[in-house]
Amino acid sequence: QSALTQPASVSGSPGQSITISCTGTSSDVGNNRVSWYQQYPGRVPKVMIYDDSKRPSGVSDRFSASKSGNTASLTISGLRADDEAGYYCCSYAGSSTYVFGNGTKVTVL
């Protein structure tokens, strides 16, 4: 059960949009639901997206997500300084197991 593949880093200027990819297999991402988590250094992860594309109450609509085949994507629109954090995808992988992505550090230039 390998970690889902994410780019190590993505950067953008304030106001721009960035997209983070999360690639797995048909055993996880391709046939199961994906969630996304934001984590600031030294802080607890926070869910930003669940069920592939749903936003929990209180999460900004600047965060959106989609999935196609074995790849899920998280888009942050109108990039802000406080979006600078680590982002992790997570997929159910069957038989009561889950797998996280290896994480993406977002830098706001």
Decide whether 88 or 108 has the Cβ nearer to another protein. 88
Query: Rule CB under 8 A: is residue 99 a binding residue for another protein?
Result: yes
Query: Rule CB under 8 A: is residue 16 a binding residue for another protein?
Result: no
Per-residue string for binding with another protein, 31-70, x by CB under 8 A?
-xx-x-x-x----xxxx--xx--x-x--------------
Ramachandran angles phi, psi of 105, nearest 5°: -90, 120
Q: What angle do CA 82, 84, 88 make, to 5 degrees?
A: 120
Lookup result for tokens 């085949």: 69
Q: How many CB atoms lie within 10 A of CB 42?
A: 5
Question: CB under 8 A: which stretch of 13-21, 61-69, 71-79, 96-104 binds another protein?
Answer: 96-104
Amino acid, single-letter form, for residue 8: A
Query: Rule CB under 8 A: is residue 100 a binding residue for another protein?
Result: yes
